[in-house]
Homo-oligomer: A and B are copies of this chain.
Amino acid sequence: MPPSTAKGEARRSVLLDAVVRVLERGGPGAVTHRAVAAEAGVPLAAATYYFANIDDLLVSALRRATEQQVALFADLADPSLHDVARLLHDWTHANRASAIAQYELLFLAMRRDTLREAADLWYRSLENALGPRHDRRSRVAALAIDGLLLRMLWSGEPSTVAGIEAALRDILDPPAGRVSRPD
């Protein structure tokens, strides 16, 4: 039931903002029609009217989050290392709850097929933003940055822009020598 009127569109948007807030505060398990309606300050029926079932709520929220994420990364065309570090810092510290919520949605997409498409879009856009090149070296860098994101969300370290920049430098321009034992 997509809204046809301008007022309907506005209310749907208000509800989606509420979904994101509920999601950030309590995770996917906290997203219920009632919680979202209360957060948005609208009656329960409004939530069930615009989002027939829970998956509708989650899919729409993931889509909205993806759009915002894509826009955020698109702002940084050809960024310096410092720019990237600042972006990652903001994302994992200032917007930590939002970042966690997005990863939670991604994991949820592993179980719910209805979320799958939206999650694919998210992942591809992040991949493109982080490293449009496709040689082996930059693929490793993308993996390491993924891991770095997780670690920052989890432990909070590195916690400063400078620290993140140093980590990025290690990833992108590693010190010489091999770390592996021969196999």
Q: Known: A110-B153, A154-B110. Is A171-B143 also a contact (CB below 8 A)?
A: yes
Alpha-carbon gap, A143 to B170, bound state (A): 11
Interface of A: prevailing SS? helix
Q: Which of A26, A106, A151 has the most chain B CB within a 10 Å cutoff?
A: A151
Copies of this polypeptide in the complex: 2
Contact yes or no, A151 B143, CB < 8 A: yes
Q: Knowing A107-B107, A137-B177, say if A183 contacts B148 (CB, 8 Å).
A: no
Residue from B139, B145, B173 within 8 A of A170 (CB atoms)? B139
A144 to B78, CA, bound (A): 23
Closest residue of chain B to A110 (Cβ to Cβ) is B100
Say which residue of B110, B139, B143, B175 sits within 8 Å of A136 (CB atoms): B175
A7 sits at the interface (CB 8 A):
no
**Interface size band for A:** 35 or more
Check A183/B80 contact, CB under 8 A, given A140-B170, A144-B147, A177-B137: yes
B150/A146 in contact, CB under 8 A: yes
A103 in the interface, Cβ–Cβ < 8 Å?
yes
Q: How far is the CB of A178 from chain B (nearest CB, A)?
A: 4
* Chain B min CB distance to A117 (Å): 14
